[in-house]
Structure 1
Amino acid sequence: MKFRILLFLFCLTSLKTLASDNKFITVRDTTSTISKDTTNTDSMMIYWTEKNTFGVNLSEVAFVNWNSGGNNSVSALFYANFQRNFEKDYTIWKNSASLRYGINAQEGREIRKTEDELRLNSSFGFRQDSTSNWYYSGKFSFNSQFSNGYKYPDTEVAISRFMAPGYTFLGAGTEFSHPEEDLTVYLSPITFKSTFVLDQRLANEGMFGVEPAVTDELGNILKEGENVRTEFGFLVTSGFSKEVWENIDVNNQVSLYSDYLNKFGNVDVDWQLSVNMQVNDFVKANVGTHIRYDDDVKFKEDTNGDGKLETSGPRIQLKQMLGVGIVYDF
């Protein structure tokens, strides 16, 4: 009888111990799995960063019995910016897209375009170690416009269109990226620049640097103008952004390009400087300038008053911007 009691107690103790051990193992494995999944999720969040911005700047002037005179007008600028950046260990990949379109409606005349831009950028870089600020880098960029451009008030003959011109840059070099300041400097001794003029009339006229059409003495076209011009040259770009005062940011972007094969030392300039002031989370004001110079871009104007546009040489292009509007970031 005593032996049976002792055997019964031993069995109960063994079952309890076994159950406790199994419970411990199950809890331990589950905890390990959850921890692993969380680590992977956090890593993916660190590798990729994104930013989306949508905005509109509006201005309006209306007159009623205003003895100083003036025309009622409404202006609007719509813009969007997208960024997708990847960074892991010694590798960095930056992508951005910028879309801008502005219009002006004034009493007594047709709607006119005030701004038009389509710009895409992508750069990939690799550095040797975590302490270096220099990357072996490759860059691609594309820019053009959405709709026809005119020499107002003439709206019959377009002086530019989508992909007339369109520009692409593709090259390789080295890039310096400051670890604390938002500063980058890119040097590329190997850059291919392609200029597209897909409107045949503009291509025949030799606009934007492409080879013009070959004609006879009567003006009949013997050979159509080229639609693509390719250059090989040296590219330097720099970007800098900094908060100079509370809620006031300065952004500076410069691009300098010179062709090795055609007038080396003649530099194409694309320089944008803007000051952004944040009123609150949704209302922002900005003022900026955009300067361009391209030796291949010829301008048209009526120089002798005969109503026809004559082609003249290159000029410095200047645009000034001032706006207050609503911006949504996410």
Structure 2
Amino acid sequence: MKGFILCLILISLTEVMAQETKKDTLNSKWIPSLTTGINISQIAFSNWAKGGDNSISWTILTNFTLTKHWSSWTLRSNLKAVYGRSKIGSNTYKTTNNDFYWEKVLSYNVGWSVDPYLSNTIRTQISKGYDYKINPNGIQISDFWDPGYVTQSIGFTYDRLKNFKTRLGIAFQETFTKKFKQYSDNPNTADEIESFKFETGVESASDLQLKLDTNLIWDSKFRLFTRFERLNVWDVLWDNTITAKINSWLNVNFTYTVLYEKSQSTRTQIKEALQLGFTYTIL
């Protein structure tokens, strides 16, 4: 509960600090960017002697960013949601992508090479998540906000380069669960199963957008988090998307994600996908 209250306070602070610069409001504008699309992979057979089975896979994605600059303050908000499913033959659909990420960063320009910042990040999944390794029909292992992660961070950020931003700070991370308490339970308290976990540590987050060629763009996000009581154990998230634009609405996407969180698995998790996508830039 204390972590949840702290989360609300930090979110409110970003709004209050922004409103305190009313004298600059007329000289600044909100800069929105909204891209949405669907990636599809499909194969169908009819009287095909060499065998095979029909299959279809689709992924819907949305990426929304909102930025505002004042004379000294900068507020950046980024929301990314991805949901995908696949089906082979007469089998039922299986969930393949299921992520929700929302980040807000408020920084203050003090004239140094780095700027102090305050951030709040929310991570969860959009819908139910299943493990298909043991049971082909899937065993549910997660749901929306079960688990849900909220991280607040305060420190210094560097964003002097056009395509690269990085920050490092003291972080407070809360883990919320309802049914799947294995993500929040403290193994040192055998007589109690906790549905909430509060951790303090250090967080580093970096964003890179690099134009590799005329129609080839690489987007990368790299995040590290460690707890003060276990500085030798790090959570790692490295999320990469390489987009090859064919035209204004059609592209080929290659995504590669590396994840390590000991509370989820003692092994490094890897996810990759290559898909043809239809995208539409709304803003």
Structure 2-normalised TM-score?
A: 0.85
Comparing 97-106 and 156-165, the one that deviates more: 156-165
Q: Which has the higher strand share?
A: 2
| CA deviation string 1:263-309 (max 9, x = no partner) | 222111000122111111111111120000011214xxxxxxxxxxx
Query: In structure 1, what is the Cα distance between the partners aligned to 2:109 and 2:131?
Result: 48
CA shift for structure 1 position 135: 1.1
- Tell me, yes or no, if structure 1 residue 175 matches structure 2 residue 153: no
Query: In structure 1, what is the Cα distance between the partners aligned to 2:189 and 2:224?
Result: 32
Please say if residues 164 and 197 of structure 1, whose CA atoms lie closer than 8 Å, have aligned partners that are also in contact. yes
When residues 214 and 238 of structure 1 are mapped into structure 2, their CA distance, relative to the original with a 3 A threshold, is closer
Among 186, 191, 213, the alignment partner of 1:211 is: 186
- Tell me, yes or no, if structure 1 residue 94 matches structure 2 residue 76: yes
Among 135, 144, 147, the alignment partner of 1:165 is: 147
Among 208, 212, 230, the alignment partner of 1:240 is: 208
- Tell me, yes or no, if structure 1 residue 319 matches structure 2 residue 253: no
* AA in 2 matched with 1:183: F
| CA deviation string 1:106-133 (max 9, x = no partner) | 212111111001111000000113xx44
Aligned to 1:57: 39
Aligned to 2:247: 280
Query: In structure 2, what is the Cα distance between the partners aligned to 1:155 and 1:195?
Result: 28
| CA deviation string 1:32-76 (max 9, x = no partner) | xxxxxxxxxxx7584320001110011110011222211101111
Aligned to 1:19: none
Query: In structure 2, what is the Cα distance between the partners aligned to 1:320 and 1:72?
Result: 22
Matches within 5 A, 1:99-118: 99-118=81-100
Among 77, 81, 103, the alignment partner of 2:59 is: 77
Matches within 5 A, 1:245-256: 245-256=213-224
Query: In structure 2, what is the Cα distance between the partners aligned to 1:124 and 1:214?
Result: 37
Query: In structure 2, what is the Cα distance between the partners aligned to 1:242 and 1:231?
Result: 33
Q: 3-state SS of the aligned residue for 1:295?
A: coil
* AA in 2 matched with 1:252: S
When residues 154 and 225 of structure 1 are mapped into structure 2, their CA distance, relative to the original with a 3 A threshold, is farther
Q: 3-state SS of the aligned residue for 2:82?
A: strand
Q: 3-state SS of the aligned residue for 1:178?
A: strand
Aligned to 1:266: 233
Aligned to 1:135: 115
Q: Which has the higher helix share?
A: 1
Aligned to 1:66: 48
Structure 1-normalised TM-score?
A: 0.73
Question: For structure 1, which runs of at least 5 residues remain unmatched after alignment?
Answer: 1-42, 216-222, 299-313
> Rg larger in 1 or in 2?
1
Higher RCO, 1 vs 2 (CA within 8 Å, ≥6 residues apart): 2
* AA in 2 matched with 1:254: F
Please say if residues 212 and 226 of structure 1, whose CA atoms lie closer than 8 Å, have aligned partners that are also in contact. no
Query: In structure 2, what is the Cα distance between the partners aligned to 1:149 and 1:165?
Result: 11
Q: 3-state SS of the aligned residue for 2:232?
A: coil
Aligned to 1:309: none
* AA in 2 matched with 1:232: T
Among 177, 182, 185, the alignment partner of 1:197 is: 177
Please say if residues 197 and 210 of structure 1, whose CA atoms lie closer than 8 Å, have aligned partners that are also in contact. no
Query: In structure 2, what is the Cα distance between the partners aligned to 1:274 and 1:283?
Result: 15
RMSD value over aligned CA atoms? 1.9
Please say if residues 184 and 195 of structure 2, whose CA atoms lie closer than 8 Å, have aligned partners that are also in contact. no
| CA deviation string 1:191-249 (max 9, x = no partner) | 001111211xx32xxx124236978xxxxxxx651101111001111111111210111
| CA deviation string 1:155-175 (max 9, x = no partner) | 464111112211111010000
When residues 60 and 157 of structure 1 are mapped into structure 2, their CA distance, relative to the original with a 3 A threshold, is closer
Aligned to 2:3: none
Please say if residues 209 and 297 of structure 1, whose CA atoms lie closer than 8 Å, have aligned partners that are also in contact. no
Please say if residues 184 and 196 of structure 2, whose CA atoms lie closer than 8 Å, have aligned partners that are also in contact. no
Query: In structure 1, what is the Cα distance between the partners aligned to 2:29 and 2:113?
Result: 18
Count of equivalent residues: 256
Question: For structure 2, which runs of at least 5 residues remain unmatched after alignment?
Answer: 1-24
